[in-house]
Every structure is written in structure tokens, then in C-alpha cells.
Structure 1
Amino acid sequence: MNEQMLHKLKVLAESAKYDVSCSSSGTVRRGKAGMVGNTVGGVGICHSFAEDGRCISLLKVMLTNYCIYDCAYCINRRSNDIPRATLSVTELVELTMEFYRRNYIEGLFLSSGVVRNPDYTMERLVRVAKDLRTVHRFNGYIHLKSIPGASQELVHEAGLYADRLSVNIEISKEENLKLLAPEKDHRSVYAPMRYIRQGVLENREERKKFRHAPRFVPAGQSTQMIVGATAETDKDILRLSSALYSQPTMRRVYYSGYVPVNAYDPRLPALKQPPLVRENRLYQADWLMRFYQFQVDEIVDDAYPDLDLEVDPKLAWALRHPEQFPVDVNKADYEMLLRVPGIGVKSARLIVASRRFGRLGYYQLKKMGAVMKKAQYFITCSELPMLTVNELTPQGVRRLLVKKKAKGGDDGQLTLDFGGGE
């Protein structure tokens, strides 16, 4: 790699780091003779973890950080005086293949600033994916950012070569999007989302008739919303997320705490640091909607439009509904066990499977992964003499748990894995 190429890579990788919607889960394509790479185990995410626990890497880069738009929240906005660079299609394809051959990466996440017009930019992104697949026989993971406003034909062609496509909503309310990005609107974002959804559903029907029909965006689509740049409540954000998840092809909604990269713009809030705790609470609430059978109106409503920053969303719900507790773990159904703070999906399944052979007590629950320091206030079992939320009152339980968290750290509340004990 010569010095000029290295400079371009540094500039464009730095410009791409603010986009967090780059998951590679949902596609499995094994290695084939005469082809390079594979996606077994959902590999291809930038310094994160695959479904089997492996740390995996992805070349996360922009094709160019020049942009015709002047979005207030974006580091690559037209009016910013920052280093600019552009990779040609050939340069990016060769860079990806060389990095893969040296075992630096397992896939590609490619986005771009918008140059000339959306179709011109989208056509160049499609050419990168097409050349990797058809010329270099690259069989690894590819995630492309679909450009808002791009034509249906280009979005459809991109879906034939990419494992996942994503279109970022950025701001959940259009009036706030217009305030910070006057040249954008939600219509241009939702249109490619609709094209992707139509393509996936049509491809499913085609594959029922023709077994070897090429797959269209096998890992579905994702999107991202910025948190804290405008005055949206968590209720506004989560209700939009819930509506998006009702669509069959939306796999993930990502939440990105606003990073004050353009502090000089008076339209933006004066933040000393990104709202990371709020971002994490949104991910936890998102997890409850996707895996814990919670409805969005149970998590946030008109009375509680924002998530509690001191406690996780499931504990906050439980404290607001003490009439639902205590739950007898030896009798309660699976759905109710999922609503107990400290009991996760894995623990709830183990409880349901194990109690057929005998009554469960404190130590059995602990071995199953239940976080008893929280669960003990919301359950009854064969050997749990502790006072419950009804005797201690929700305020009393809250004080005890927040006090314990303050003494011993956050008790894992800033993690996103609820599999064993949330």
C-alpha cells in the first residue's frame, strides 16, 4: 500500500466510524470451490462478536466523504473543513481483497457521502459489490448503505450482491430532521426501505418455485437513529422502532448517542459527552420488544415518555406494576417469568424445564443464571424468606437496588446481553 492509498484509507475509515448499523447477523453462506471467503457463523462485523462468540472484524470504510448535503449532525457535512478523500471502485475492490487475503478482515461495510446525486453514488456502491462477487468471486460478508433517494432499480441490483442493506433514518421526527438536514426528508428514506422489503418478499416466493434462485439481501435490512441531537422523547424513538420491527425484513434498529462533532452549530445541543446511558437504555428497551414480548406502550407511554436512567427498563416496568408480583416461579407461565427483573430468556426456559422434576429454590435459580439480587423482590419459591416488592414498596426496592448499584458498580446494566439474567 503506497502512502497516498494509506492516507485515503485513514481519512475514509475515520469518517465512517460514526455509523453503528453494521451487524452481520442473519446470513450463512458457506465457502465454495473457486470462491473466496464465507459468512458461516454470521462473520463480518467490525470488532464485535459473532453468534458463536468469536471476535470478528470488518473493513468499515466510506467510498468518499465528500457530500452535497449539509446535515448539522454529520462530521462529513458540506460546510466542514475536514480532510477529504475518494476511493475509486477499483481501488476499494483491490483493497478489500488484499485485506482479506492477509486475514485482516472477514467482510466489508461500505457507506458513502452523496456526490452529484443519489443515483450516481448508489451506482458506484453497487459496482464495488458486483465486482467483488462476480470478478473476484468474493464470498464473504458485504453490507452496503443504500443512499436515500436512490432508484428502485439500483437498490434491487444492490440487493443481489449484498448480504445486508441499510438506510439510516437518523431523526425519528421529520420536522426535526428538516431542522438539522433541510435537504432531506423521510420520504427519501422510506422509499428504499420499501424497495428492499418488496425485493425480499418477492425473492422468497421465487425461491419457493426455483430452489437455486439467487438470494436477495439474505440478512435483511437495518437502520440507525441519532439520540440526543433533537428533542424527541424515548417514546417517539421506540414507537418508530416498534413500527419498523412490524415489517418482516427489518432486522435491527441501532441507536447512536449524538457525538458533538459540530459544536459550532447553534441548532445542536451543547453536550459535553454523548448520552451513552440513554443510548444503552434504548437498546435494552429494544431488546425487551424483540425477545421479551413487551409492547412499546408498556415500556414508554404518555405518563412516562422517557426511560429511567437509574434502572433498566424491565425493572422500571416492574416497579410501576407491583400488582403483578410476587410471581411463584414454580407455577408462573413462561411469559410472566420473562417479566421478572433478573430472569432472562435462558433462565426462564431452564425454570420451565426444571420445575417438572421438583420445586425450585434460591440456589437452583441462582445456578440457572437468575440475578437474585434483583429477582428476590419479585418472586416466591420454596426457600426465599425475603420481603417482596409489596411489603417493601416499589420506592423501597428502588432505593435498595440503586444503592447497591452505586456501591458495587452498575451491575452489568451497560451491557446489552440479557440472555441470562435481565
Structure 2
Amino acid sequence: MKTDLSEKLRILAESAKYDVSCSSGGVRRRGMDGAPGSTGSWGVCHSFTEDGRCVSLFKIMLTNFCIYDCAYCINRRRNDRPRTMLSTAELVGLTMEFYRRNYIEGLFLSSGVVRSPDYTMERMLRVVKELRTVHRFGGYIHMKSIPGSSRELVMEAGRYADRLSVNVEIPTEANLRLLAPDKSRESIYTPMSFIHQGVIAGAEERRLFRSAPPFAPAGQSTQMIVGATDERDSEILRLSSQLYRVKGMRRVYYSGFVPVNSYDKRLPSVGSAPLVRENRLYQADWLMRFYGFTAAEIADDAHPDLDLEIDPKLAWALRHPEIFPVDVNRAEYGLILRVPGIGVKSARMIVTARRSGRITADAMARMGVVMKKARYFVTCGGVPAGACIADMTPERVRRTLVPRQRCRTTAGQLSFAFPE
């Protein structure tokens, strides 16, 4: 690799590392004879940085030049840092070379905004179009859609990319105007709507004509920055729920605030947002997507922030002792799914197994149920009498489950103290 190209790669890969919405999945693209690349329906391989951030695929920016001045972004226009840009030929060549060497299984392409959203989007589109049409690349492609892009460019991008995404970044409009004055909610949500419409239209077309080309078969995703502004977890989860319901979002990613521009007075003076808060939001998101919980059940006005000490499912159960204990031999699937320690797979196994005999605590443990938690919220053979939440207070159950862990949040950071 030429020295100047190697330096470009180093700069742009470093600039792209803060975008975490790059995982793949939900698409199967078969390789063609004589053409490189294929994508399994389980997604592609991922790797992770030391701080846990996903750097799957060939994660790169077309350029880190940007006309915007977002307070939280390392690539903001006022930052004095090395800037560069890859040509279409360079980026296509790198992707194909890395794929042939088995370094990658796909491409995650983003970019700073140069000249205008449409100008940037058109340059990115050239890359993915050439990969698909000239090199017949069959690997996974995730392409960022630039806020403010035109409908024509977004719809064309959906013909070549497996997934498209537009980052919400800041959950509320007032804080978005404060930290990203060059952006607006309309510029973000409009291309989201274009993608959603394209996915629906593409699915309908393929239902009528099996040979019709897919439109962004892996759907769309977005990312929110957590901790850069004062939004409560309840606000974040309500927005996520709305995006899943109205925009057909496939995934919402949560990125803990990293103070890359500490000199900006609009940003919080504390350090990075606690990673455990980011993790709790992912757990809450999982509950909304697969466990039937609503955002209001997980975090409401009385409890606007997630409990950093325990997972949100356990926190909900402790707030609603009147629902428990659940008789796993009689309760419906949806209620069994709400028992702490019981997941989707084990809940299905319980419902299936009880048709041929009564479920016991030992049988649940063999199914993968975390009985350390579940024993306080269920009734079945083998669960000790007087050990359920109905016979104990929620506070006592909590102390039993987290006897040594003391959660202390100071200056926006989380620390744990473990006594000897």
C-alpha cells in the first residue's frame, strides 16, 4: 500500500471509530459465480476495540472534512486536525483488496459533509454503485445517509446498500439546536421516512414479483449519543419506541458520550457517560423489542432514569410485586416472559414442556433459567416455601440479589465498591 494511501486510511479510520451503529444482520446475499463476496443471514464477523466499541466490517469515512460544527463531533469544522479524502477508485480498491485478503466481509461507509448533503451523498453512492455493478461485490454494505439528502439519492442508495442509517444523535430538538446548529430534526427524519417508504415499497414489489431487486434488505438503523445532554432515560426510550413503531427502525444504538471536544462550554464538564448506563439502555431496548414491554413500563415519570445497579427487567419486577409470584405451570407466555431470569428461549421451552408434565425448579434450571433471580418470582415444585417476593419485601429481595454491590454515581461517572 502506498504511504500516502496508508496515511489516509489511518486518519479516516480513526475519524470513523465513534459511530457505533455499524453491526449487520437480517440479510442474505448469495455470491455470484466469478464474483467476490457473500452475506449470510446471521450477519458478518465483528471485531471490537478495547473500550467495547464495534468496529465490524471495513469501517471507514469517505472524508473527515465537514462543513458542520457539531459540538460533540471530533470532525467538526473548527477542530484543528489532519483532514483527507479518499477518491472513489481508492476506496473501492481498498475494499476489494481487503476482502480478497479475508480481512473483511463488508463495508461500513460514512462521511463528513462537504459542500452540501447531496454532493456528499452522491460521492458515497458512486462507491457502493461501483462495488456492486463493476466489481459485482456481494458482501455486506452499510451506508450512512446524510441528513438533508434528497429523496432520489436515498432511493438509489437503497438499491445497492444492505442497510442505510441516519443518526438521530441528540434525542430532543432543543438540545440538537444547541449542540448541532447546522442540523434540524426535519433534515434527519425526512431521509428516515424515505428509507422506510422504500423498504415497504420494495417488500411489496418483491411479494408481487420475486425477481424484483431488494431495497435495503437489512432495513435502517440509527444512533443516539447518551450523556452529552440532559435527556432522561424515559425520553430516550420513548423516542426509540417511536422510531421502531413509526419509522420501521431495525436497530437503535446508544453511544455513551465521549468528551472529544472538552473545550466546548456547551458540553457537560464531567467525563465520559458511564458505560453501564449505555448497557442498561441496550437492555431496556431489548425488553421493548422482544419481551413486550413498553417504554412507559420501563421508565416513567416516577422513575425517569434506569437503575444502574440492577437490570431494567428486575427493576420493573421489584416495582410491581403485586404481579408475582407467577405460576409457570399455568401462566400465559407473556407473563412468564416478564419473570426476571427467564428469557425468550426458556419461556418457550417452559410453555412447550408443561404440556407433558409439571415444571419444577430443576427442570427450569436445565432450560437455562437463572434460578438465582427467578426463584423469588415464580411458584413451582422445588422452590422453597416463603422465598418468593410475596413473602418478602421488594427491598429485601433486592438486597439478597445484590448483597455486596454498592452503586455510587459521582460527577457523571460510575464506580463500584466491593467490601472485603
Q: Same fold (TM over 0.5)?
A: yes
Equivalence for 2:410: none
Contact 1:47–1:57 (Cα < 8 Å) also in 2: yes
Letter in 2 for 1:282: L
What's the offset of the Cα at 1:112? 0.1
Contact 2:223–2:254 (Cα < 8 Å) also in 1: yes
Gaps of 5+ in 2: 49-53, 408-420
What's the offset of the Cα at 1:406? 6.5
| Map 1:144-159 → 2, pairs under 5 A | 144-159=143-158
Q: Look up the SS of the partner of 2:402 in the other structure.
A: helix
Equivalence for 1:415: none
Query: 2:87 & 2:343 partners in 1: Cα distance?
Result: 48
Cα distance 1:238–1:56, how it changes in 2: closer, same or farther (>3 A)? Answer: closer
What's the offset of the Cα at 1:332? 1.2
| Map 1:107-256 → 2, pairs under 5 A | 107-247=106-246, 249-256=248-255
Letter in 1 for 2:97: E
What's the offset of the Cα at 1:45? 5.3
Equivalence for 1:419: none
What's the offset of the Cα at 1:314? 0.5
What's the offset of the Cα at 1:34? 2.8
What's the offset of the Cα at 1:248? 6.2
In the superposition, the TM-score normalised over structure 2's length comes to 0.93
Contact 1:338–1:348 (Cα < 8 Å) also in 2: yes
What's the offset of the Cα at 1:404? 5.5
Letter in 1 for 2:134: V
Contact 1:21–1:222 (Cα < 8 Å) also in 2: yes
Contact 2:28–2:40 (Cα < 8 Å) also in 1: yes
Query: 1:14 & 1:46 partners in 2: Cα distance?
Result: 17
Q: Look up the SS of the partner of 1:65 in the other structure.
A: coil
Equivalence for 1:351: 350
Query: 2:257 & 2:168 partners in 1: Cα distance?
Result: 14
Query: 2:270 & 2:46 partners in 1: Cα distance?
Result: 27
Q: Look up the SS of the partner of 1:202 in the other structure.
A: helix
**Identity within the alignment, %:** 67
Query: 1:183 & 1:45 partners in 2: Cα distance?
Result: 35
Equivalence for 1:331: 330
Letter in 1 for 2:26: G
Gaps of 5+ in 1: 49-54, 408-422
Letter in 2 for 1:135: V
Contact 1:229–1:269 (Cα < 8 Å) also in 2: yes
Letter in 1 for 2:28: V
Equivalence for 1:395: 395
Contact 2:168–2:223 (Cα < 8 Å) also in 1: yes
Query: 1:354 & 1:42 partners in 2: Cα distance?
Result: 28
Letter in 1 for 2:36: V
> Which portions of structure 1, spanning 4 or more consecutive aligned residues, are displaced by more than 6 angstroms?
none
Query: 2:373 & 2:337 partners in 1: Cα distance?
Result: 13
Contact 2:125–2:157 (Cα < 8 Å) also in 1: yes
In the superposition, the TM-score normalised over structure 1's length comes to 0.92
Equivalence for 1:21: 21
Contact 1:63–1:112 (Cα < 8 Å) also in 2: yes
Cα distance 1:278–1:353, how it changes in 2: closer, same or farther (>3 A)? Answer: same
What's the offset of the Cα at 1:303? 0.8
Q: Look up the SS of the partner of 1:256 in the other structure.
A: strand
Equivalence for 1:297: 296
What's the offset of the Cα at 1:204? 1.9
Letter in 2 for 1:326: P
Letter in 1 for 2:309: E
